[in-house]
Amino acid sequence: MRYSGIGGQAVMEGIMMKNKEKYAVAVRTPDNEIVVEVSEYTGVASNQKIRNLPILRGVFSFIESLTLGIRTLAFSASFYEEEQEKAPETEQEKKKAKRQEDAMMGGTVALSIVLAVAIFMVLPYFLSTLFQRFTSSAILLALVEGLIRMTVFIGYVAAISLMPDIRRVYMYHGAEHKCINCVEHGMDLTVENVKQSSRKHKRCGTSFLLIVMIISIIFFMFIHVDSRVLRLLLRLVLIPVIAGVSYEFIRLAGGSDNVLVNLLSKPGLWLQNLTTREPDEGMIEVGIASVEAVFDWRAYVAEIRQER
């Protein structure tokens, strides 16, 4: 498998694909048409030297993925709103609408981060303190905390998968992975070839989040302070570092067929049994449209075949 550099995300009845600064959102509208919007997103850091530094690039990537994900999700959902607001007509109205959209986006991203930290970091920590009556081992308590965190995360993923709308998102998620796998394995991007491709991918955001959970256990095993407040504070401060380290592993795994790397990637791939579903042909067509809007897969596949 050869690294292509493209990545994506499932949205409401659609798929977003990104290649460098260019991204496209393909959505299957209620009238069964595929609408594709192509835009550019330069990210939160313009200095390339800084944004490409190991660890830091993982932090930037996480924030950018969250921001872009919410933006593209809002775009896809707009096709299914019962009442459309009147579009701004004048240039001043457009600028005002853009400022309001940016402010709302920033608030949504901030709230999402706060909720994620509260549910998946703070809550498991406080639950793990209940086990202090049974053991004083910091290493054992860190392990218990990590197991609680993973249980909460997997339980959350499994619970939302019962919702019909989320099941369809998971099907589009499967289509996204299958399209990327198809291209990266040197096959023409056709519906039949995509069907035959795997719906699991080592660079998946699901795998990234699971790796974050595992890396956090290792980090927190080495935090030995008496104050509960300080222990919690250190956990919050270390979140960007943990995210950065986890990103480096996912980045390595995405372009490597090393036996050890593949073995370490297994838990994330297993979890994708929950977060991906086999798509139908219509969903695959949406994925293909999204890829073709940002990536010249024909030239890429031709290069792979020449190398072979």
Q: What's the pLDDT score for residue 208?
A: 92
Distance CA 63, CA 17 (A): 17
Q: What's the pLDDT score for residue 90?
A: 74
For residue 42, give the nearest of 56, 22, 24 by alpha carbon: 22
Q: What's the pLDDT score for residue 116?
A: 84
Q: What is the pTM of this model?
A: 0.86
Distance CA 55, CA 305 (A): 34
User: Can you state the angle between helices 259-275 and 164-184, rounded to 10 degrees?
Assistant: 150
Bridge partners, residue 9, by sequence: 16
Q: What's the pLDDT score for residue 83?
A: 42
Q: Are 124 and 152 in contact (CB under 8 A)?
A: yes
| Number of neighbouring beta carbons within 10 Å of residue 53 | 15
Distance CA 96, CA 88 (A): 9
Pairing state of beta strands 14-19 and 6-11? antiparallel
Q: Are 216 and 249 in contact (CB under 8 A)?
A: no
What one-character-per-residue DSSP string does 223-282 give?
Answer: ---S-HHHHHHHHHHHHHHHHHHHHHHHHHHHT---HHHHHHHHHHHHHHHHH-----HH
Per-residue pLDDT of the chain (308 residues; tens, 9 = 90+): 778 889 999 999 999 999 989 999 999 999 999 999 999 988 777 777 887 888 888 888 888 888 888 889 888 988 886 444 545 567 777 667 667 766 776 677 678 778 888 898 899 999 999 998 898 888 999 999 999 999 999 999 999 999 999 999 999 999 999 999 999 999 999 999 999 999 999 989 889 999 999 999 999 988 888 888 898 899 889 988 999 999 999 988 877 888 888 898 999 999 999 999 999 999 999 999 999 999 999 999 999 989 87
For residue 175, give the nearest of 250, 297, 30, 276 by alpha carbon: 276
What are the backbone dihedrals phi and psi of residue 70, each rounded to the nearest 5 degrees, phi first? -70, -40
Pairing state of beta strands 14-19 and 22-28? antiparallel
Q: Are 109 and 66 in contact (CB under 8 A)?
A: yes
For residues 144, 111, 28 and 78, what is the CA-based torsion angle, rounded to 10 degrees?
A: 160
* Burial of residue 59, with CB atoms counted within 10 A of its CB: 0-12 exposed, 13-18 middle, 19 or more buried: buried
- Amino acid (one-letter) located at 234: L
Q: What's the pLDDT score for residue 223?
A: 81
Place of tokens 């202090």: 132
HEC-encoded secondary structure of 19-58: ECCEEEEEEECCCCCEEEEEEECCCCCCCHHHHCCCCHHH
Q: What's the pLDDT score for residue 131?
A: 93
Judged by DSSP in three states, 123 sits in helix
Q: What's the pLDDT score for residue 163?
A: 92
The CA distances from residue 163 to 96, 166, 190, 216, in Å, are: 36, 5, 30, 29
| Residue 44, token pair as written in the block | 């939160």
Provide the H-helix boundaries in 118-258. 123-128, 138-160, 164-184, 191-196, 205-220, 228-254
